[in-house]
Amino acid sequence: MLDSNPFAELSAMIPPAVMQMYVVAMFLLVVGGTIIDVIHKKSARYFFEAAKKAEKSRTQELSNGDRTSIFIKTVAEDVLTSAEFCNPSRRLAHLLAMYGFVIFVVTTAILIFKFPTNPDAPGILTMLWHIGALAVCVGGYWFWFFIRVDVAAEGNPWYRIIRADLFILSLLATTTFALLWSFGQAYVGWGTLFFGLFVLSSTVLFGGVLWSKFAHMFFKPAAAYQKRIEKADGSMANMPAEADAPAQFGLGIKRDLPRHY
């Protein structure tokens, strides 16, 4: 089952051109939603103004080599390995969801544009499609039920939903229904139902950029890079310098576990 192309059977009902148009439409929704988000929240303007203001308080000039080194370190630590997460469980859940989502989206595009009618598409592609969706489910559900909702610390039940949860919920729905659709194609009624839910949830995921945290993934690397630059050139985002020996003040809030509910 993992090595079967789910889009090949679908092409008997939906022309490949329609599937490809849908993918392009989702891509345009992400681009358009991100642009509108930038204009509406003025995040790009704030980012550049803050960077320009920080330049006035820097204490040393960075060479091109320094900036390149910082860029590589940012990509390696903040993007590829998400080293900013101190909690190992949170970090692992994030990496599973992130890499799973990238693999799922890339393989979906390849299968739809290159092998839309070929049931014998390369097994590695179809297997990666299923593995990517499964990785998102593992990381996403782990985050939703065991990390996001820390009842001992926050007292919030798992079913408490706010607008910021639109991204993770639509992402989980997309990959979950994608897997159910793939495994349920042998059953006409169930296969059709799960496919409809798959399309609906993916439309919400890519079309809801303006109301979710989807656009956050584009700003996060730039913000992490700028933060490292400001620390290296001494500007420190116009904040006081770090303490020379913070350990002397003890564990602080880390002294006690957050179990006060």
Cα–Cα distance, 132 to 112 (Å, whole number): 16
Q: Which domain holds residue 217?
A: 6-51+87-233
134: pLDDT strictly greater than 90? yes
Chain segment 172-215, per-residue pLDDT in tens: 999 999 999 999 887 778 888 999 999 999 999 999 887 777 77
What predicted TM-score, i.e. pTM, was given to this entire model? 0.82
Q: What pLDDT, on a 0 to 100 scale, did the predictor assign at position 198?
A: 97
Residue 82 in domain = no
Indicate whether 95 belongs to any domain: yes
Percent of the chain with pLDDT over 70: 86
Q: Is residue 105 part of a domain?
A: yes
| Residue pair 12/195 in contact by the 8 Å Cβ criterion | no
Asked if the model's pLDDT at residue 167 lies above 80, the reply is yes
Domain count, the chain: 1
The DSSP annotation for the chain comes to -TTS-HHHHHTTTS-HHHHHHHHHHHHHHHHHHHHHHHHHHTHHHHHHHHHHHHHTT-SSPPPHHHHHHHHHHHIIIIIIS-TT--SHHHHHHHHHHHHHHHHHHHHHHHHHHH-SS-TT--HHHHHHHHHHHHHHHHHHHHIIIIIS--HHHH---TT---GGGHHHHHHHHHHHHHHHHHHTTTSHHHHHHHHHHHHHHHHHHHHTGGGSSTTHHHHHHHHHHHHHHHHHTT-GGG-PPPPS-GGGG--GGGGS-S---
Give domain status of residue 101, yes or no: yes
CA-CA distances (angstroms) from residue 259 to 91, 146, 182, 215, 251?
21, 15, 42, 33, 17
Classify residue 180: in a domain, yes or no: yes
Whether residue 133 has pLDDT greater than 80: yes
One-letter identity of residue 28:
L
In a domain, 31, yes or no: yes
Q: Is 67 within the bounds of a domain? A: no
Identify whether 13 is part of a domain. yes
Which pLDDT score, from 0 to 100, does residue 20 have?
96
Which amino acid, residue 91?
Answer: R
